[in-house]
Amino acid sequence: MTNHTLTNSEQLFSASKKYIPGGVNSPVRAFNSVGGTPVFIKRAKGAYLFDENDNSYVDLINSWGPMILGHAHPEVIKAVTEQIQHSFTYGTPTAKELEMAKLICEMVPDLDIVRMVNSGTEACMSAIRLARGYTGKKKIIKFAGCYHGHHDSFLVQAGSGALTLGSPNSPGVPEETASNTLIASYNDLESVRALFDLHDDIACVIIEPVAGNMGCIVPEEGFLSGIKELCHRNGALFVLDEVMTGFRLAPGGAQQLFDIRADIICFGKIIGGGMPVGAFGGKREIFEHLAPLGPVYQAGTLSGNPVAMSAGIATLTILKDNPSIYVDLEETVKTLHKELDTILDEKGIDHTINSIGSMISIFYLEGQVKSFSDAKSTNTKLFSRIFHHGLKSGIYMPPSNYESWFLGQGIGEVEIEKILNTFRTF
C-alpha cells in the first residue's frame, strides 16, 4: 500500500473554502456524505487519477460518466488541439455542429433532429419546456430518486397532500413550480397510472432509463414501455433522460439496448467527451415548435462551440467505430459483480449489487433494490468506511453511496485485482 498523505489536499481545501462556497463547484465533491477531506486531483491518464501528492487512484467516477474512453485519450486531445488554433467560439453556425448533429442522429436510433446545449441540466429543463409548449399542458411526472439536473422543476419531492402534488426539496424553489411536478415510484407502473388518473394536464413523463443517481437501478421488463403507453394514451410526451446512459449502455444508448423509442431524448456527459456539453433531440414534428422554427424559446451563447464539438465528435466517433469497447467494459463489470459478491458474502456483509453495461453499484442492505425507497436503507456508515479504505488503497469510488460507479477504458486485470483486493482487505 502506498502512503497516501492528504496534506496538500487539506491545505487546498481549507484555502478553497475561503473563495468557493464549501470549497467546491458541485456539492458531492465536498465529501459531506463520507466525511474527511476531498482529494484534489492534479492530472489523469487512462484509468488513473493522480492527486496533488502524485498518489495514483483507479478512477471509478470518470467525471461522473463522461470519460468512457479513459482520461486524456490521444485522439480527443488531437481534435481539441487542432481546433483551439482557430479560436474557441464564434457565435455563428459552424460545419462542426452539422458534423456533430449528423453523428448523433446516426448513432441514436430513429433520432431525427438535435439541439446542442452546455449541460445535462440545460438539456432536461429545455426538454420539459418543449414538452409543455408542444402539448399546452403544465404538469410533469418524475420518479423519486431520479436526477435530471438542478432546475426548479426537478428539485421536487413527493408531497404529503392528497393531491399528490410535489413539494420543493430545496429552499429557493417556489411551491407553485414544485406543485407542477408529480412524483412516481421507479419500477412501479401503477404509481404512474394513478397520477394520470388524478391529473389531466400532464405534459410529459421524464425518466432515467437506467437510474444512476440513486445507485444503479435497472428497469423491470415492461416498465419503460408501460410508461410510454400511458403517456401516449393521455396525450403526454415520453421523455428519456439519457444524460448518463446515452453512448454508455450502447452506442445508441438505452433506446438501442431496450429497443424503446422516446419522443424527446436528453443527452450530456459522454456527448461532450469531457467538455461541458448537453443536447436534446427527438421527433422532427415536435422540434418544429422550438425557436427559431417555432415559439418555444431556448438559446445559448456557447452552445455548439467548436472546441466542445471537437471533443464530442472525436469521442463519439471512437465509440461508433469500436463496439468492442462496450463488450470489454461489460465483461469487466460482470467480473467485478461476481467477485465482489463472493468477497462480501465471505465477509458476511449484507449487500446487493446492481449492474448493467459499464455501470455497477453496491448497496449495503438486505434484499433487492428496485426503487429509491429500497435504496434508502443502504448502510451509509459502512459505505463511508469502505470508501476511505478504498482511497487509502488507491481506489477512487464516487463519494456517495447513491452514485453508480462508471467504468472507463483502461481498466484491465491489474486494476480489477486492485479493486477486489481493496474489498478483501477491508
Ligand X SMILES: *Cc1c(COP(=O)(O)O)cnc(C)c1O
Residues designated as active site: 147, 241, 269
- Out of 23, 46, 120, 281, the only residue in the binding site for ligand X (CB under 6 A) is 120
Half-sphere exposure of 79 (CA within 13 A, CB side): 23
Sites for ligand X among residues 186-245 (CB under 6 A): 208, 212-213, 241, 243-244
74-82, 117-125, 317-325, 390-398 -> range binding ligand X (CB under 6 A): 117-125
Among 119, 332, 355, 401, binds ligand X (CB under 6 A): 119
How far is the CA of 365 from the CAs of 320, 348, 382, 396, in angstroms?
38, 11, 10, 22
- Taking the complex as a whole, the smallest distance from the CB of residue 44 to ligand X amounts, in Å, to 19
Query: Nearest distance from residue 406's CB to ligand X, in Å?
Result: 10
Instruction: Please tell me whether residue 282 binds ligand X under the rule CB under 6 A.
Output: no
* Cβ-proximal residues to 25 (8 Å cutoff; 6+ apart), any chain: none
Other CB atoms within a 10 A radius of the CB of residue 27 amount to 12
**SS3 letters across 311-374:** HHHHHHHHHHHCCHHHHHHHHHHHHHHHHHHHHHHHCCCCCEEEEECCEEEEECCCCCCCCHHH
283/293 Cα distance (integer angstroms): 14
Considering the rule CB under 6 A, would residue 121 count as an interface residue with ligand X? yes
CB of 279 vs ligand X, minimal distance in Å: 11
Q: Interface with ligand X includes 268 (CB under 6 A)?
A: yes
Binding residues for ligand X, total number by CB under 6 A: 15
> 280 or 423: whose CB is closer to ligand X?
280
Least CB distance to ligand X at residue 392 (A): 28
Q: Which is nearer to ligand X, 38 or 278 (CB)?
A: 278
Nearer to ligand X, 119 or 400 (CB): 119
Site for ligand X in 345-384 (CB under 6 A): none
**CB-wise, 121 or 185, nearer to ligand X?**
121
Burial of 33 per CB tally in 10 Å (0-12, 13-18, 19+): middle
Q: Using CB under 6 A, which residues numbered 122 to 181 contact ligand X?
A: 124, 147-149
Query: Closest CB to ligand X among 187 and 213?
Result: 213
Residue 240, φ and ψ in degrees, nearest 5: -100, 125
Angle between helices 189-198 and 223-233 (to 10 degrees): 10
Report residue 194 as a C-alpha cell: 394513478
Q: Which residues bind ligand X (CB under 6 A)?
A: 119-121, 124, 147-149, 208, 212-213, 241, 243-244, 268, 278
